[in-house]
Amino acid sequence: MDPATRNALIVAVPLMLLGFISGYMQITGLRDLNARAHVPSDELNFLRRRHRRRLFAGLLMLLIGGLITFTFLSGTEARASAIADANSAKPALAEGETRVIPEQDKAFVRYYTAYWIAVISLVFVLLSVAMWDGWASRRYWMTVYRRLRDEHNTQLRRDLAVYKHQKDQKRNTGRNGYGGRLGDGKSEE
């Protein structure tokens, strides 16, 4: 096995494994979510969409890893290297001359170029899905944070109002607890 193939497999196999494990975990998560009885509707929607996005990302990782593995194990990469080596080994052309490339090699180069453009496009889609997932998670949790913060602030305002009311009552009442209307607490004789 040549070093290029070995390096490609070092990248592709863990990518495929990560995609498989991620997909399995998302399917399990969806099943568990469907089995739960009491989940708020906004949280249910968020979790369901998150599992679907991550399942899609896992499938993309599996596909990208498979395409990279296929191109190296099928001999496609070796043929592309052979064509490149054959063209670089030819002597330089004089000015105005054109190199004749067999139609078979032209068709292969077109296929090979389209193949790697597709792989790179899938990587771009994977990165886009990952950013979308991060943005959606942040948006949801910021909404939850704001709701909790508002509830907490409302509770603090209520507690503060009760505390002020109790403090005002203590201030307005005399030592005897009757507002000083019945005397100052000393016995009158």
Structure confidence by residue, pLDDT tens digits, 10-42: 999 999 999 999 999 999 999 999 998 888 888
- CA distances 128 to 65, 113, 146, Å, are 17, 22, 27
Residue 75: helix, strand or coil by DSSP? coil
pLDDT > 70? residue 176 = no
CA distance 30 to 11: 29
% of the chain with per-residue pLDDT over 70: 88
Over range 70-85, report the average pLDDT: 88
% of the chain with per-residue pLDDT over 90: 59
pLDDT tens per residue across span 117-155 = 999 999 999 999 999 999 999 999 999 999 999 999 999
What pLDDT is recorded for position 118? 97
> Angle at the Cα of 108 (from 104 to 109), degrees rounded to 5?
115
Computed over every residue of the chain, the mean pLDDT equals 88
> If pLDDT is split at 50, 70 and 90, which confidence band does 108 have?
very high
What pLDDT is recorded for position 89? 72
pLDDT > 60? residue 175 = no
pLDDT > 70? residue 45 = yes
- How much of the chain is in helix, strand and coil states, percent to nearest 5? 80, 0, 20
pLDDT > 60? residue 183 = no
CA R_g for the chain: 35
Give the residue, 177 or 54, on which the prediction is more confident: 54
> If pLDDT is split at 50, 70 and 90, which confidence band does 97 have?
confident
User: Whole-model pTM above 0.85?
Assistant: no
